[in-house]
């Protein structure tokens, strides 16, 4: 389930923490980076790997919004709609993205290419409105610029 | 004023540039001092936490047990191991200051962490950064790697007897993990549930060991104090809340962004001088001074109110994280409050009934107002729900959810009443939660 390289990295991390349970978040991040989401099998795997009960792993995965227990689209587009972004027009971005992609907030397109989500404050209040795609932040956006981003992602 | 946390120096994130501008000299100086002397210096400087609570930092450090014993070594399993968590979970709406430190001056934070670790005899420090900041985590890790390579972190730092480790711990998307005890549970690999206090982290923290949690900006102030002395520091800004402060200005201003200034600058000066005023010269209807959980202020009451703990307290709000959100005269405040309520509903961890149930009801009733279906008695209902959350929960998230509602009703009751009398057209826009 995890690459040799990541297993080695986890092993190195051990000395910095008092319990193997502390490696749950790092291990889940690795699983998600390698597989795109964290399946039930993956949770069982992490449970065995770290000797932590499966129920605990499930509890962690479902607690944190960035962990995906189900597969999501190839490009995960998140729009911050919290106050600072809202005051600077995130509503227009939401409208535009829903129209362009033909899906609503919280949905994944049929071809599994796009997932669109509303997100809480991303710390881009000074460069609002924004969308995040994976690890990348796009800030100070207009609907036209959103089109450029979509076109760029389309080619990927 | 001169800038200390985010000075205008090109490539300061690079260790050679940082060193060329006096970087890590404070660490050298601290290592020549006794640990108690370092703590004392911070205590006398008057530095107060920049994460929201404004708690005196030096005093917090003195809560840690003095015994150094195993604490100076990375023995791992010893019960006397002491920990430091640097809180970079920055997720409060309107707050985006720590991100600037990660990007432009990460070594200042690392140097501050090392000095704090020395003062308290900490063996391992975790810099806990929200998962969304993946890009910035890489920047911090690069800086940390360079600091290790130069011998500032690790075994026998700069030829002294002091050894300590620092590593970055990545969060996974949970506002509540910025709450210090939830943060510790998250590092321990669990759900981010806040813990009941007492016992306080300095007695029973990570894995039951003494632990201190400091905000990123707070810890970044430490090298300044050690380098220039407490007297120098205590003279910057407001007497009872001194030092430089990073103020994030967002919303209806011409130049939103993070501005470094001494504490005690008038809010109106921040809005007009630093952030370039309100677009179209519109009047200011309302201001949230320190992130979404702080009490909202009316535009008319801003005269004379300054960005420091005492002044904002007197005005009936608080400095919080100094995330100033400006709203012009055309702002739909009901919509703003509904969005804030939705945030706390989403982020409530669900442990305490008043918060778990109360936040959803606040949001639902506010949604009713937003849709033009609010009733006059709903105003008091909102107040009642908020009052029943406040003070009745394990952590401050409950209060943070209650304060915006209470203050909005207290200061903008007319907005609610108008919404009842003149219902707005129904909005089709659905909000996915």
Mean pLDDT rounded to a whole number for chain B:
95
B370: pLDDT strictly greater than 90: yes
CATH no., domain A75-155 = 3.40.30.10
- Pick the more confident residue, B324 or B66: B324
Contact between chains at A123 and B191 (C-beta distance less than 8 A): no
In whole angstroms, what is the distance from residue B132 CA to residue A123 CA?
A: 9
Of the pLDDT bands very low, low, confident and very high (cuts 50, 70, 90), residue B267 is very high
Contact between chains at A121 and B340 (C-beta distance less than 8 A): no
B76: pLDDT strictly greater than 60: no
Helix, strand or coil for residue B17? helix
**Residue ranges in B276-396 assigned as alpha helix (H):** 309-314, 333-347, 353-370, 376-389
Q: What is the mean pLDDT of residues B182-201?
A: 98
Between A and B, how many residue pairs show a Cβ–Cβ distance under 8 A? 158
Task: Give the least confident one: A113-117, B64-68, B226-230, B233-237.
Answer: B64-68
Q: How far is CA B272 from CA B186, B252, B258, B275, B310, in A?
A: 40, 11, 14, 6, 22
- Domain boundaries along the sequence of chain A: 4-63, 75-155
Among candidates B77, B175, B292 on the partner chain, residue whose Cβ is nearest the Cβ of A18: B77
Q: What is the pLDDT of residue B1?
A: 77
Contact between chains at A16 and B256 (C-beta distance less than 8 A): no
- Kindly state the percentage of chain B with pLDDT values over 90: 93
Check if the beta carbon of residue B100 is closer than 8 Å to that of residue B258. Answer: yes
- Domain boundaries along the sequence of chain B: 15-234, 244-328, 333-421
Q: What is the pLDDT of residue B424?
A: 55
Pick A4-63's CATH classification: 1.10.10, 1.20.120, 1.10.3470, 3.40.50: 1.10.10
Among candidates B76, B81, B250 on the partner chain, residue whose Cβ is nearest the Cβ of A125: B250
Q: How far is CA B411 from CA A6, A34, B169, B301, B408, in A?
A: 54, 51, 41, 10, 5
Q: What is the CA radius of gyration of chain A?
A: 18
Going by the DSSP 8-state scheme, the letter that residue A134 receives in this structure is T
Which tokens in the block code for residue B170? 């990545």
Check if the beta carbon of residue B316 is closer than 8 Å to that of residue B324. Answer: no
- B244-328 has which fold? Ubiquitin-like (UB roll) (3.10.20)
Nearest to B189 by CA among A114, A82, A35, A13: A13
Q: What is the pLDDT of residue B426?
A: 56
**Residue-wise pLDDT tens digits, A120-148:** 999 999 999 999 999 999 999 999 999 99
Q: How far is CA B136 from CA A84, B132, B243, B322, in A?
A: 21, 9, 25, 21
Q: Is A150 on the interface with B (CB under 8 A)?
A: no
Q: Is B187 on the interface with A (CB under 8 A)?
A: yes
Q: Which residues of B touch A138 (CB under 8 A)?
A: none
Q: What is the pLDDT of residue B70?
A: 45
Q: Is A140 on the interface with B (CB under 8 A)?
A: no
Q: What is the mean pLDDT of residues B84-106?
A: 98
Residues 39-78 of B with CB under 8 A from A: 74, 76-77
The CA-based dihedral angle spanning residues B127, B310, B97, A88, taken in that order and rounded to the nearest 10 degrees: 140
In whole angstroms, what is the distance from residue B324 CA to residue B249 CA?
A: 5
The owner of tokens 């391992």 is B124
Who contacts B294 (Cβ-Cβ below 8 Å, separation ≥6)? B288, B312, B317, B318, B319, B320, B403, B404
Q: Which residues of B touch A87 (CB under 8 A)?
A: 250-252, 325, 327, 331, 336
Q: What is the pLDDT of residue A88?
A: 97
B71: pLDDT strictly greater than 70: no
Q: How far is CA B103 from CA B49, B109, B131, B141, in A?
A: 21, 11, 15, 11
CA A59 to chain B, closest CA, distance in angstroms equals 7
B93: preceding bond cis by omega (within 30 degrees): no
Helix, strand or coil for residue A75? strand
For A33, other C-beta atoms within 10 Å of its C-beta total 12
**Residue-wise pLDDT tens digits, B151-188:** 999 999 999 999 999 999 999 999 999 999 999 999 99
In whole angstroms, what is the distance from residue B50 CA to residue B179 CA?
A: 13
**Residue-wise pLDDT tens digits, B107-133:** 999 999 999 999 999 999 999 999 999
Residues 324-363 of B with CB under 8 A from A: 325, 327, 331, 335-336, 339-340, 343, 346-347, 349
Q: Angle at the Cα of B44 (from B41 to B50), degrees rounded to 5?
A: 95
- Kindly state the percentage of chain B with pLDDT values over 70: 94
For B195, other C-beta atoms within 10 Å of its C-beta total 19
Contact between chains at A82 and B93 (C-beta distance less than 8 A): yes
Q: Is B251 on the interface with A (CB under 8 A)?
A: yes
Show contacts of A67-71: CB within 8 Å, 24+ apart.
Answer: A67/A28, A67/A32, A67/A38, A67/B172, A67/B173, A68/A32, A68/A36, A68/A37, A68/A38, A69/A37, A69/A38, A69/A39, A69/A40, A69/A43, A70/A37, A71/A36, A71/A37, A71/A112
Contact between chains at A123 and B130 (C-beta distance less than 8 A): yes
Of the pLDDT bands very low, low, confident and very high (cuts 50, 70, 90), residue B432 is very low
User: Helix-strand-coil percent breakdown of chain B, rounded to 5?
Assistant: 45, 15, 40
- The CATH class that applies to domain B333-421 reads mainly alpha
Among candidates A22, A29, A67 on the partner chain, residue whose Cβ is nearest the Cβ of B188: A22
Q: How far is CA B342 from CA A118, B52, B182, B373, in A?
A: 12, 21, 21, 18
B72: pLDDT strictly greater than 80: no
In whole angstroms, what is the distance from residue B95 CA to residue B109 CA?
A: 18
Q: How many Cα atoms sit within 13 Å of A64 on the Cβ side?
A: 33
Q: How far is CA B143 from CA A43, B102, B171, B295, B402, in A?
A: 33, 9, 19, 37, 39
Q: Is B205 on the interface with A (CB under 8 A)?
A: no
ipTM score of complex: 0.97
Q: What is the pLDDT of residue B421?
A: 74
Q: What is the β-pairing status of strands B211-215 and B244-251?
A: unpaired
Q: Angle at the Cα of B212 (from B207 to B215), degrees rounded to 5?
A: 125
Q: What is the pLDDT of residue B433?
A: 39
B79: pLDDT strictly greater than 70: no
**Residue-wise pLDDT tens digits, B408-420:** 999 999 999 999 8
Q: What is the pLDDT of residue B204?
A: 96
**Residue-wise pLDDT tens digits, B316-343:** 999 999 999 999 999 999 999 999 999 9
Chain B residue with minimum CA distance to A65: B173
B67: pLDDT strictly greater than 80: no
Contact between chains at B252 and A87 (C-beta distance less than 8 A): yes
Among candidates B187, B209, B250 on the partner chain, residue whose Cβ is nearest the Cβ of A22: B187
- B15-234 has which fold? Rossmann fold (3.40.50)
**Residue-wise pLDDT tens digits, A47-96:** 999 999 999 999 999 999 999 999 999 999 999 999 999 999 999 999 99
Report pTM: 0.95
For B95, other C-beta atoms within 10 Å of its C-beta total 30
Contact between chains at A21 and B189 (C-beta distance less than 8 A): yes
B74: pLDDT strictly greater than 60: no
A39: pLDDT strictly greater than 50: yes
């Amino acid at each position: 389930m995890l690459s040799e390289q990541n297993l080695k990295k986890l092993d190195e991390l051990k000395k910095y923490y008092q319990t193997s349970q502390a490696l749950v978040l790092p291990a889940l991040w690795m699983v998600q980076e390698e597989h795109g989401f964290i399946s039930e099998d993956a949770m069982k795997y992490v449970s065995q790997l770290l000797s932590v009960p499966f129920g605990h792993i499930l509890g962690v995965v479902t607690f944190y919004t960035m962990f995906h227990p189900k597969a999501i689209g190839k490009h995960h587009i998140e729009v911050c709609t919290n106050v600072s972004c809202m005051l600077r027009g995130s509503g227009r971005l939401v409208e535009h993205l829903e129209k362009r992609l033909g899906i609503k907030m919280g949905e994944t397109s049929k071809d599994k290419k796009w997932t669109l989500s509303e997100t809480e404050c991303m710390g881009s209040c000074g460069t609002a409105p924004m969308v995040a795609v994976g690890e990348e932040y796009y800030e100070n956006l207009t609907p036209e610029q959103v089109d450029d981003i979509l076109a760029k992602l389309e080619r990927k | 004023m001169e800038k200390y946390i985010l000075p205008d120096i090109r490539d300061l994130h690079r260790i050679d540039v940082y060193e060329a501008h006096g970087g890590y000299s404070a660490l050298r100086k601290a290592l020549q001092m006794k640990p108690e002397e370092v703590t004392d210096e911070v205590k006398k400087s008057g530095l107060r936490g920049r994460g929201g609570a404004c708690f005196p930092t030096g005093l917090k450090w003195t809560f840690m047990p003095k015994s150094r014993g195993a604490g100076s070594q990375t023995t791992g399993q010893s019960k006397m191991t002491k920990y430091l968590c640097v809180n970079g979970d920055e997720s409060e709406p309107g707050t985006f200051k720590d991100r600037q430190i990660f990007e432009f001056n990460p070594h200042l934070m690392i140097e501050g962490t090392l000095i704090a670790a020395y003062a308290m005899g900490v063996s391992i420090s975790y810099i806990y950064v929200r998962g969304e900041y993946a890009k910035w985590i890489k920047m911090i890790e690069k800086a940390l790697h360079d600091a290790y390579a130069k011998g500032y972190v690790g075994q026998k730092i700069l030829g002294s007897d002091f050894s300590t480790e620092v590593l970055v711990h990545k969060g996974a998307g949970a506002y509540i993990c910025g709450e210090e005890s939830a943060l510790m549970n998250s590092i321990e690999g669990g759900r981010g549930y806040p813990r009941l206090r007492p016992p306080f982290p300095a007695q029973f923290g990570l894995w039951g060991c003494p632990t201190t949690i400091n905000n990123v900006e707070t810890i970044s102030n430490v090298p300044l104090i050690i380098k220039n002395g407490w007297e120098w520091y205590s003279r910057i800004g407001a007497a009872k809340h001194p030092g430089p402060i990073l103020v994030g200005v967002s919303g209806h201003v011409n130049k939103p962004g993070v501005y470094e200034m001494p504490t005690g600058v008038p809010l109106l000066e921040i809005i007009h001088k630093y952030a370039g005023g309100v677009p179209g010269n519109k009047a200011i209807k309302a201001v949230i001074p320190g992130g979404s959980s702080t009490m909202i202020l009316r535009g008319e009451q801003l005269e004379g109110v300054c960005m420091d703990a005492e002044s904002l307290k007197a005005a009936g709000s608080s400095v919080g994280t100094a995330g100033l959100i400006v709203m012009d005269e055309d702002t739909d405040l009901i919509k703003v409050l509904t969005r804030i309520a939705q945030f706390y509903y989403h982020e409530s961890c669900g442990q305490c009934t008043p918060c778990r149930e109360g936040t959803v009801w606040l949001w639902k009733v506010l949604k009713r107002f937003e849709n033009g279906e609010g009733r006059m008695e709903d105003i008091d209902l909102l107040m009642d729900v908020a009052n029943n959350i406040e003070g009745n929960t394990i952590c401050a998230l409950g209060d943070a959810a209650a304060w915006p509602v209470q203050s909005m009703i207290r200061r903008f009751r007319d907005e609610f009443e108008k919404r009842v009398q003149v219902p707005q057209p129904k909005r089709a826009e659905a909000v996915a939660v």
